[in-house]
C-alpha cells in the first residue's frame, strides 16, 4: 500500500524543536537507565491505564469537570487496599475496575455483578494483570502516597527533564498563594 | 511537517493523478490569494466555504441548491478520507474532530484535534491528500490543561497562507501550496492553563485568537496578530484590570479577577459596516462557587463588541451575572438585519448556555428579545422584558441566587439545574437561513447535578482545575433542533433527537443539515424540520457540516470523530454512546 512516499522538507522551526527534544530526551532516558527504579514498571502501568486521566500525573486528583478524583498523595489506604481498589474500582463512583473478571466471576468487596447492581463501577479502559496492579500500587506507595505538594523533581522523574509540563514547578517561588501572578 | 508525493511506480494511481491534474485546473496562483475583499464577499463565492462560519455574519448558509428537498433522498457517500490525531495526551485518552472544513476552489483544508492541517484536492469526484502539516503539538503539556477534549475547530485563509492554531497555544501560518510552515507565534501559554481550540478569524490583515482555560484559573483575552509583521496588534482581556471600567464588578478581597476565567474559545463574527468584532465570553472561575467572586463578574457570560483595529470594547451584554451554573456565553453571535418599527433592526443573535436565545441591537448592545429554546429551564422564571436579565437578578446583591431552591451554592451544596452545565447549546454553531429568516439552534435538552466545593485561595494553582465543584449526570440527556423566527423572536419549530446536538448546523435554501453523536448525519426540511435524509457514519459526529461545489457539482462535507468532553465527563447521561469509538474521518456526500 505504498501509495505515498514521504519527503521531509527544509529544517523549519518545528523540525528544529523536534530535533532538540529528541536529543535531550535521549539524554534523560540514558540517565534514568543508569539508576533503575524498581517501581518503573508500576509507573508505566500508571500511564498505560490512564490513572493520570483523573488523578493527574502527581496523584493529587482534585475537583474539576469530572468531579473529585481522590488524592493519592493524601490517601490512607494500605498496599492491599490500593490493590483491591485498582482491581475492583469503587462502587457508585467514577473509579473504574481494572481486573479482568472483577464482579464476574471474581468477587469484589464480597459482591458479584448482581449484588453490586447499578452501583457497579465503570470498566477500565484497559484490563491489568494482578502483577501489573501490584506494580502500580508499589509505584503509588513509593512515589505518591504521603508526599507533599508535587515538585520539579517529582515531575521530571515522571515525564523527563525537558518536558514543558514541569516548567511551572521550576518557578515555584513565583506561584504566589494569592494567585496574583496568574494569568496577567 | 510532511509532504506526500505520489509514487511513480504505482502506474494506475499515477495515471489517475495526471487526469485529476487536468480536470482540476491549474494550481493556485495569485487569483487564489485570499484577500479581505474576498472575505467580505464570501457569500458571492457560492461554491466555496472561505470563512469558519461561512461569512463574517456567521450565517453558515450555503446558497447551493442542487441538493434540495426533492433530491436529498438520493444523497450518497461520494468519498471518505481517514485522518489522524486520534491519540491521547495529558488527561485525554483520544483526540477528536470538531472542525469546520474550509474550501477554496476545490481545495479543502481540515484539521484534526492536535492541530495537524490537511490539504485535500476534491476535484474529480474524490479526495486526494496534497499535504499534511503536523505542528508537533506537545501532548502532555497541552492535553493536561484542556478542560474539554483534544479539539481544533479549523483553519482560516489569508493571502497564500493557511492560518491555524494548536492546542499548545501557537498561531501557525502554513504555505498553502507546499504545506511548509512559513512562521509561527506563541499566543497562549499552557503554563498558565491557556490552550487554544478555536479557529482563527481573519479580519483585514489580522488573525483573531480566542483562548480556553476558565476551568484552570486563567484571565481570558482576545488577541489580534498582524499577519504581515507577525506582531501582536492588540490583546483585550475579558476581565478588566484594576482601574478599567467593569473592574468594580469583582467585589471580593481575594483578587478573584486575576483568575476570573472569561474564555473566548469560539470564533466570533465581524460587522464591516461598523468595523466591529463581536465575540462571546465564557464563564467566570471558579465555575460553581460564585460566593468566591461577588459582583457581576464582567465580562464573563457576555457578548463583547470590539473595535477591530484597536480591540477597544464598544459595548457588552451580559447574560448571567455572577454565574453559579457554568452558563458561559462563548457561543458565536449571528448578525442579521430584520425589519423593525423604526427601520431595519441590526441584530446580534446568541443562543446561550443558560437556555435562552438573545437578540441584541448590535449597534448599541441593547436587549431586543429573548426566548427559552430548551424544553426545561429551572434556574430562573424568565427574562425581564425590558432588560433581558433574569427576573430574579438583583443588581444590589453581590451574590446572585436566582431561583434559590435549585441554585447550587455553599449552603445548598448539591443542586439539580436545567439546563445542565453543558448548557442548552454549547459551542456547536447555529445556522441562519436569510431567505426564510429562520435561525437553527443545535440543542442539548438537559439537566444535571452540581456539587459545590468551597474555593479557597490556596487551592488556586497553575495548571490545576479551578472549578469550585463539579457536575454529575443522574439524568438522561437528549437533544433537539430549534428553529427561531428572527422577525418575531418566537420558536417556529422543534425536532427532538435521541441524543444531544454536539456537532452544529448547516443551512441551505430549503434544508438544514446536522449530525448526532450516535453517528447519524441528517437533512431536515428547512420549514418543517421534518427529516428528509439520514446516513449513519458509524462514528461520533461532533463537528458541523458544510456544503461546497467543485467541477460544478455540489457536495456536503463533515468531519466525524468523537471529539470534545462528552465521553469523559457526561457519558452517564447517554449510556448508549459508550459504544461509540474514537475515530478520525472525513465524509463527503453527493447526489
* Contact between chains at A9 and B258 (C-beta distance less than 8 A): no
B130: three-class secondary structure by DSSP:
strand
In Å, how far is B293's CA from the nearest CA of chain A?
14
| Element (DSSP H or E) covering residue A106 | none
pLDDT number for residue B25: 41
Q: For residue A12, give how far its alpha carbon lies from the nearest alpha carbon of chain B (Å).
A: 7
Task: Answer yes or no: B323 catalytic.
Answer: no
A13, A15, A64: residue with CB nearest B467: A64
For chain B, 591 residues long, give each residue's pLDDT as a single digit of tens: 445 444 434 344 433 443 333 334 444 445 589 999 999 999 999 999 999 999 999 999 999 999 999 999 999 999 999 999 999 999 999 999 999 999 999 999 999 999 999 999 999 999 999 999 999 999 999 999 999 999 999 999 999 999 999 999 999 999 999 999 999 999 999 999 999 999 999 999 999 999 999 999 999 999 999 999 999 999 999 999 999 999 999 999 999 999 999 999 999 999 999 999 999 999 999 999 999 999 999 999 999 999 999 999 999 999 999 999 999 999 999 999 999 888 899 999 999 999 999 999 999 999 999 999 999 999 999 999 999 999 999 999 999 999 999 999 999 999 999 999 999 999 999 999 999 999 999 999 999 999 999 999 998 999 999 999 999 999 999 999 999 999 999 999 999 999 999 999 999 999 999 999 999 999 999 999 999 999 999 999 999 999 999 999 999 999 999 999 999 889 999 999 999 999 999 999 999
Pairing of strands B356-361, B366-372: antiparallel
Cell numbers given for A98 = 481494572
pLDDT score at A183? 33
pLDDT value of residue B4: 47
Domain locations along chain A? 38-172
The pLDDT score that the predictor gives to residue A10 is 33
Report residue B435: phi and psi, to 5°. Answer: -80, -45
The pLDDT, as a whole number, for residue B51 is 98
Subunit contact B140:A159, Cβ cutoff 8 A: yes
Nearest residue to B548 (alpha-carbon basis) of B51, B17, B39: B51
Predicted local confidence at residue B71, as pLDDT: 98
The answer to whether B117 and B164 are in contact (CB under 8 A) is yes
- Alpha-carbon span A55 to B465, nearest angstrom: 12
Asked if residues B106 and B121 have their Cβ atoms less than 8 Å apart, the reply is yes
Active-site option among B138, B168, B287, B326: B326
What's the ipTM? 0.77
∠ at Cα B48 (B309, B209), nearest 5°? 30
β-pairing, B334-340 vs B313-318, is unpaired
Q: Write out the E strands in B453-545.
A: 469-472, 478-485, 490-497, 506-508, 511-515, 520-525, 531-536
Q: Which residues does chain A have with pLDDT short of 70? A: 1-34, 63, 66-67, 171-184
Burial of residue A82 (CB within 10 Å: 0-12, 13-18, 19+) is buried
- CA trace torsion B130, B135, B139, B144 (10° rounding): -110
What count of Cα atoms within 13 Å lies in the side-chain half-sphere of residue A103?
19
Residues of B in contact with A67 (CB under 8 A): 451, 470-472
| The pLDDT value given to residue A57 | 94
Q: Do B471 and A4 touch (CB under 8 A)?
A: no
Question: What is B2-590's CATH superfamily?
Answer: Quinoprotein alcohol dehydrogenase-like superfamily (2.140.10.10)
Could you tell me if A66 and B568 are in contact, meaning their C-beta atoms sit under 8 angstroms apart?
yes
- Those residues with Cβ within 8 angstroms of residue B465's Cβ, 6 or more apart along the chain or in another chain: A62, A63, A64, A65, B147, B215, B216
Separation in Å, CA of B421 to nearest CA in chain A: 10
CA B529 – CA B527 distance, rounded (Å): 6
pLDDT of residue B459: 87
Pairing verdict, β A123-128 and A97-99: parallel
Amino acid at each position: 500500500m505504498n501509495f505515498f512516499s514521504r519527503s521531509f522538507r527544509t529544517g523549519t522551526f518545528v523540525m528544529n524543536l523536534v530535533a532538540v527534544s529528541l536529543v535531550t530526551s535521549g539524554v534523560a532516558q540514558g540517565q534514568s537507565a543508569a539508576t533503575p527504579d524498581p517501581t518503573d514498571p508500576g509507573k508505566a502501568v500508571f500511564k498505560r491505564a490512564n490513572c493520570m486521566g483523573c488523578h493527574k500525573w502527581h496523584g493529587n486528583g482534585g475537583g474539576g469537570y469530572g468531579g473529585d478524583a481522590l488524592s493519592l498523595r493524601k490517601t490512607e489506604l494500605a498496599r492491599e487496599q490500593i490493590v483491591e481498589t485498582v482491581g475492583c474500582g469503587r462502587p457508585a463512583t467514577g473509579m473504574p475496575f481494572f481486573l479482568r473478571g472483577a464482579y464476574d466471576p471474581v468477587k469484589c468487596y464480597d459482591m458479584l455483578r448482581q449484588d453490586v447492581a447499578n452501583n457497579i463501577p465503570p470498566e477500565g479502559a484497559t484490563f491489568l494483570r494482578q502483577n501489573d496492579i501490584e506494580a502500580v500500587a508499589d509505584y503509588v506507595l513509593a512515589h505518591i502516597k504521603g508526599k507533599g505538594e508535587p515538585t520539579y523533581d517529582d515531575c521530571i522523574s515522571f515525564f523527563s527533564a525537558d518536558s514543558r509540563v514541569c516548567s511551572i514547578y521550576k518557578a515555584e517561588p513565583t506561584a504566589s498563594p494569592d494567585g496574583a501572578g496568574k494569568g496577567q | 511537517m510532511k509532504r506526500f508525493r505520489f509514487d511513480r511506480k504505482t502506474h494506475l494511481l499515477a495515471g489517475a493523478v495526471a487526469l485529476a491534474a487536468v480536470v482540476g485546473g491549474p494550481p493556485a496562483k495569485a487569483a487564489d490569494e485570499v484577500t479581505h475583499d474576498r472575505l467580505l464577499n464570501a457569500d458571492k463565492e457560492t461554491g466555496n466555504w472561505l470563512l469558519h462560519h461561512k461569512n463574517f455574519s456567521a450565517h453558515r448558509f450555503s446558497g447551493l441548491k442542487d441538493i434540495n428537498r426533492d433530491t436529498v433522498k438520493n444523497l450518497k457517500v461520494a468519498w471518505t478520507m481517514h485522518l489522524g490525531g486520534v491519540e491521547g495526551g495529558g488527561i485525554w485518552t483520544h483526540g477528536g474532530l470538531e472542525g469546520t472544513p474550509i474550501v477554496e476552489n476545490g481545495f479543502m483544508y481540515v484539521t484534526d484535534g492536535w492541530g495537524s492541517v490537511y490539504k485535500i484536492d476534491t476535484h474529480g469526484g474524490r479526495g486526494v491528500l496534497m499535504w499534511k502539516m503536523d505542528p508537533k503539538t506537545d501532548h502532555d503539556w497541552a492535553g493536561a490543561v484542556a478542560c474539554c477534549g483534544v479539539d481544533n475547530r479549523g483553519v482560516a485563509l489569508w493571502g497564500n497562507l493557511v492560518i491555524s492554531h494548536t492546542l499548545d497555544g501557537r498561531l501557525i501560518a502554513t504555505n498553502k501550496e507546499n504545506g511548509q510552515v512559513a512562521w509561527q507565534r506563541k499566543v497562549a501559554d499552557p503554563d498558565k492553563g491557556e490552550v487554544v481550540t478555536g479557529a482563527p478569524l481573519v479580519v483585514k490583515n489580522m488573525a483573531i485568537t480566542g483562548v480556553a482555560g476558565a476551568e484552570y484559573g486563567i484571565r481570558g483575552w482576545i488577541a489580534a496578530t498582524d499577519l504581515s509583521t507577525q506582531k501582536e496588534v492588540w490583546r483585550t482581556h475579558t476581565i478588566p484590570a484594576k482601574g478599567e471600567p467593569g473592574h468594580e464588578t469583582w467585589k471580593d478581597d481575594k483578587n478573584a479577577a486575576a483568575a476570573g476565567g472569561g474564555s473566548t474559545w469560539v470564533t466570533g463574527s465581524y460587522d464591516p459596516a461598523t468595523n466591529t468584532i463581536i465575540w462571546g465570553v465564557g464563564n467566570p472561575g471558579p465555575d460553581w462557587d460564585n460566593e468566591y467572586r461577588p459582583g457581576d463578574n464582567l465580562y464573563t457570560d457576555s457578548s463583547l463588541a470590539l473595535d477591530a483595529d484597536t480591540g477597544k470594547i464598544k459595548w457588552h451584554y451580559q447574560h448571567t451575572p455572577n454565574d453559579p451554573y457554568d452558563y458561559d456565553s462563548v457561543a458565536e453571535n449571528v448578525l442579521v438585519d430584520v425589519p423593525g418599527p423604526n427601520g431595519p433592526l441590526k441584530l446580534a443573535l446568541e443562543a446561550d448556555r443558560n437556555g435562552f436565545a438573545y437578540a441584541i441591537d448590535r449597534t448599541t448592545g441593547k436587549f431586543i428579545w429573548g426566548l427559552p429554546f430548551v424544553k426545561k429551564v429551572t434556574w430562573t422564571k424568565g427574562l425581564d422584558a425590558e432588560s433581558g436579565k433574569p427576573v430574579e437578578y438583583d443588581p444590589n446583591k453581590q451574590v446572585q441566587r436566582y431561583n434559590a431552591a435549585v441554585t447550587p451554592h455553599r449552603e445548598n451544596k448539591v443542586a439539580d439545574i436545567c439546563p445542565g452545565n453543558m448548557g442548552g447549546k454549547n459551542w456547536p454553531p447555529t445556522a441562519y437561513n436569510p431567505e426564510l429568516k429562520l435561525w437553527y439552534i443545535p440543542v442539548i435538552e438537559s439537566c444535571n447535578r452540581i456539587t459545590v466545593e468551597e474555593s479557597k485561595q490556596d487551592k488556586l494553582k497553575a495548571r490545576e482545575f479551578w472549578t469550585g465543584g463539579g457536575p454529575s449526570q443522574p439524568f438522561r440527556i437528549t437533544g433537539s433542533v430549534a428553529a427561531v423566527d428572527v422577525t418575531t423572536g418566537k420558536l417556529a419549530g422543534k425536532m427532538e433527537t435521541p441524543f444531544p446536538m454536539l456537532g452544529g448546523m448547516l443551512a441551505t435554501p430549503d434544508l438544514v443539515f446536522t449530525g448526532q453523536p450516535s453517528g447519524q448525519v441528517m437533512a431536515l426540511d428547512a420549514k418543517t424540520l421534518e427529516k428528509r435524509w439520514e446516513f449513519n457514519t458509524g462514528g461520533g459526529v461532533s463537528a458541523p457540516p458544510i456544503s461546497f461545489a467543485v467541477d460544478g457539482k455540489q457536495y456536503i462535507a463533515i468531519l466525524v470523530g468523537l471529539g470534545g468532553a462528552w465521553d469523559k465527563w457526561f457519558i452517564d447521561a447517554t449510556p448508549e454512546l459508550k459504544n461509540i469509538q474514537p475515530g478520525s474521518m472525513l465524509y463527503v456526500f453527493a447526489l
